[in-house]
Amino acid sequence: MTYDEAKREFPFTIVRPKDYKEAPIRSLGAIMNTLQQDTNEVTDQRMYFHDFYEHGENWMVVSQELNDSATKFLLGEIDGVSNEFSSRWETIAETTNLIAMYALGGKENHLYIQYKTKEQQVIDINLHGNISKEELIKLAKAYVPL
């Protein structure tokens, strides 16, 4: 679905890039339903928004989804949440509104951000691509204040 359709349908604010050197070549929303096999009843629904970037042989993907557990914790609806990162993850930034973790991969690098919006929602933003750590951080700064 398009950005405008996702903006209407998704229960979270989609974070848009500002002041990056190029615009995404494609943006789209996706809804993934988990169905119970015998009844075809939807048991879980996840909504993602993706921005795709390409520059020569370099590519990046930025994916967003609502972190339902962290949002419920923030609103006082549940008592706690936990995140576990293996030793390969490096903290890039940690503030009252976000945490950003970086991991060097084999063929691609990853930057994971949990971002609290002014609407009191926690959005998971995953950036990955075959670009350097520094360029991944520049791209992330177009989405959130690191």
User: Cβ distance 138 to 83 under 8 Å?
Assistant: no
β pairing state of 122-129 and 26-35? unpaired
| pLDDT tier, 86 (very low <50, low <70, confident <90, very high otherwise) | low
Angle at 45 between CA 10 and CA 12, to 5 degrees: 25
Q: What are phi and psi of 143, to 5 degrees?
A: -100, -40
Domain range holding 48?
3-143
Note the pLDDT of residue 74.
84
Give the total number of structural domains in the chain: 1
The string of pLDDT tens digits covering residues 101-124 is 998 777 889 999 999 999 999 999
- Largest Cα separation within the chain, whole Å, is 49
Sheet of 42-55: strand order equals 26-35, 42-55, 58-66, 122-129, 109-116, 98-103, 89-94
